[in-house]
Chain A
Amino acid sequence: MSGISDTERMITLKTVEGTLFDVKSSIAKDLKTVQAFIDDSDDDVTSPIPLPNVFTRELSRILDYLNNHHRFRSGIEKADEEMARYDAEFAKSMSHEELKALILAANYLNVKDLLEFLNQTVADVIQNKSVEFVRNFFGIENDYTPEEEEKLRNENEWAFNGVEQD
């Protein structure tokens, strides 16, 4: 691999559906899971890296996000504004299902900045909503026994005791 600079090297990733994505190594660095794999393989990676937990739709979105953020960061004026606008559109463009799937993928691939952004986005969705709403959103079931629920109610009584609603 002598003579080829890092920024030009391409990494190939393969999704669950078998779709191949060519990714610049500078972008691949943000996929910490992938980067760790590359580091462990002594930089000698030629065949596509399989990502058995990541679907095409999600990887495509993640790469889109990273490519745009790299573009914004490479010294354009007013990048912060553009980036904020892009982020807002990005969040809006997804349904709750897609948002959830993206979090799982971003978490698996360990994409720090995107994860932070997605966490904030999810928090915005579930803020001040009812317990049922949030349960539906996450698709999870209550696994408490009645005794545990009672114990939990006591544990958190301080938070609900005497709270006036404006």
Chain B
Amino acid sequence: MSSAAGPDPSEAPEERRFLSTAEAAALERELLEDYRFGRQQLVELCGHASAVAVTKAFPLPALSRKQRTVLVVCGPEQNGAVGLVCARHLRVFEYEPTIFYPMRSLDLLHRDLTTQCEKMDIPFLSYLPTEVQLINEAYGLVVDAVLGPGVEPGEVGGPCTRALATLKLLSIPLVSLDIPSGWDAETGSDAEDGLRPDVLVSLAAPKRCAGRFSGRHHFVAGRFVPDDVRRKFALRLPGYTGTDCVAAL
């Protein structure tokens, strides 16, 4: 198997804590092609771990009824699929998720994940108010699962772009899955006038733009990277303890 991007030789192996967009894609390809993981498996593990990260940042016993309500905003691609899984596990964990998923992907994975959420009585909003105060009042926190690394903001349609514009003005906590949607995954440019999440949940390993994250909590979630792959990409990940699938950085 050849991968187009390997570790950057100019970075000392023990210091690498971030993946470039190309490396993240290469790592995923290795898991899918060499290790024969299914995409659904990885999305399920990431979504489950993301929900666990939310419970660590916002533990249920400390939350009021209103604070347990979570708006999960899902984009049309893989990041959105992870969001759908995250919402389902939040429901199982006794939070009260609501989903805004305006651009529904037609692929089977997204459709099945949507069905699972619908069957578990997770409401899907038909529109998102543009008045951010309405969101601040209705929900305790928002999960941003709109854009992942490698998806250009311009590629997603109007409703997602408008949703991101509204979320920039949010005053309740914001949790971004993998990268803050709209940030350049490499440089983190647009970090100033893009989303400013309180919590970043990096999936499997942090992406380069995470270096510019300045919110409250940064977690790595999704404990499935085999040791050999981690070494191949010269990644230094935080130590997971016990059976945790989430580690704080």
A, B co-complexed: no
